[in-house]
A and B are shown apart, each in its own frame.
Chain A
């Protein structure tokens, strides 16, 4: 059984497991390009996993995300399908972080922008949020208008980054 995960820092993990008398044991584990040697094994219960180091994790899965509570801390790792890339939306696409209304658009298509430059202003959860350019580049596409109500995840603006 092989799985690939991505953690919240963007780090990718590949793990191969096999069943043994002690439970599920790690055959191989990599984090990015780094090989990690681990002799940990795990036993799976109803809603928790007991590890061979004596620690326990509580887990649940929502969508492709595993939420893991371990030693007082909460983690989330996303399971990646073999061979697929998660960048369905191109890197320069800025999406609405939550449902809201577009209050102001400070740029026009074709305009050069610098990293951190405010691009548009939206109101969500009764607060104003400034959406800033993630990189230096040009505005490739503008997909909203002032006054639009937008859903969470809607692509608002596309920045073509200068490599």
Chain B
């Protein structure tokens, strides 16, 4: 295998253990193949038939039924790496990717950690520490207060007092948080106590750390993040921004690069702030500094994600930089092979996340068999996915099925390409958000780039309804039933109880994370 790119590296390696699963594991395995590295997957029993296990050069089963004994099993994963002769560990995103103790244990075992130093993960992972460090580094943060009180009652009264100073509406967020967990919005002072209790409880159960902080809620702001790359010699560059404003339940749905509202001047200001943020924690590797940008054009540090991001492909599309390969180069100790002035933006890229979820009932996760799965192809289309036809979507893991990325000359062309690709995307047997995404990208407010983090709530205040069923659909189903077509499809879907979640239009289940105005 051709590994000449690693010539002269201070920390060469040739075999990588991927401490992850699904789509991102597939992405990393592909990067390994291209870089001449061999890939070692780990998997839990219920992933034995998964695509990433099939794609890897070698795979090791981690026994046990819960995450703690499988994908979060620090000791066992390191043991497998040592026994199987892997030299490096790539954590992907989620799972152990932002666990400083894991990063440290990997390095103490003499393995190469494909990620930032443990200290940087720690500083950025504790959002209260990060806010303090960013203030010191001159990076603007969202107005708010950190609550240091540990005892539940004194924390609640400190939160109450701080909320009066910060003002409404505000967000209560877990210091150890991320991914929308341990986060509550408060729009009335009478809700502060119950919201704080809920956030603390969720944070305590998800992270074992109930500390929270308060941030002024910057309504109708945009979520814009800067991709950075930092090598082990202290060189840091940024790869411009990604706009990720369209979210539901604080989880991103659609991302695009470049942002339609970021001027060259704002890009260089935000880029410089992101580079300063990375330098403040002696960062190494690929990372993302997230900002909220207000309608007045001011930007505020939100958090830094110390790992590869789900939406990294749009940056790859517009800059031509392979970010996972760059992670390998940096981990090997090589210097960045380009400087800031080499980074140019070419065209426009949009990513949508295809989720197994029901947008007609509050985006509740859906399960079911992927009886028919046909992904779009053609110019400017990239699909990153960890599933294929015949797989079963279970409630065990994240409901993201695939990422659809389009690249075209400009935003309008990219939207046209995305509309074409979404209409070609066929997933039958499990409810997905594909129809909702088609409505989203054809919405006049989206077309005119008036996106904000409350875009979905603002434009679908009563929720989204399924595409109306017409005569053609009923005739097609009746004809198929009359002709016995089901014998063919039921043979494919015989796996387990293939009954999908039934969603009543008057669904009484709503998620707490989502507040409809």
Contacts and interface: CB of A to CB of B under 8 A. Distances in A.
A99 B376 CA distance: 32
Interface in A54-80: 55, 57-63, 65-77, 79
Interface string B170-194: 0000000000110000000000000
B152 interface: no
B483 interface: yes
Given A69-B428, A79-B477, A126-B206, A62 B489 contact: yes
Contacts of A143: none
A27 B62 CA distance: 58
A82 interface: no
Nearest to A63: B499
B323 interface: no
Nearest to A18: B482
B474 A51 contact: no
Most chain B CB neighbours (cut-off 10 Å) among A17, A49, A77, A94: A49
A127 interface: yes
B509 A57 contact: no
Majority DSSP secondary structure for residues of B touching A: mixed
A40 B470 CA distance: 12
A99 B395 contact: yes
Interface residues of A, number: 67
A64 B113 CA distance: 50
Interface stretch (B212-220, B329-337, B359-367): B359-367
A60 B372 contact: yes
A139 interface: no
A62 B497 CA distance: 10
Contacts of A13: 469, 474
Contact of B472 (A43, A53, A76): A53
Given A5-B478, A62-B498, A152-B501, A74 B511 contact: no
A126 B489 CA distance: 32
B89 interface: no
Nearest to A73: B467
Contact of B435 (A61, A67, A74): A74
Given A8-B469, A40-B475, 18 more contacts: A1-B478, A1-B482, A3-B482, A17-B475, A23-B479, A24-B479, A49-B479, A58-B372, A60-B372, A61-B480, A62-B493, A76-B431, A77-B469, A98-B364, A125-B399, A128-B513, A132-B508, A134-B508
9 contacts: A57-B472, A58-B374, A59-B480, A62-B369, A62-B490, A62-B493, A68-B473, A69-B426, A98-B367
Interface of A: 1, 3, 5, 7-11, 13, 15, 17, 23-24, 26, 29, 36, 38, 40-44, 46-47, 49, 51, 53, 55, 57-63, 65-77, 79, 94, 97-99, 121, 123-134, 152
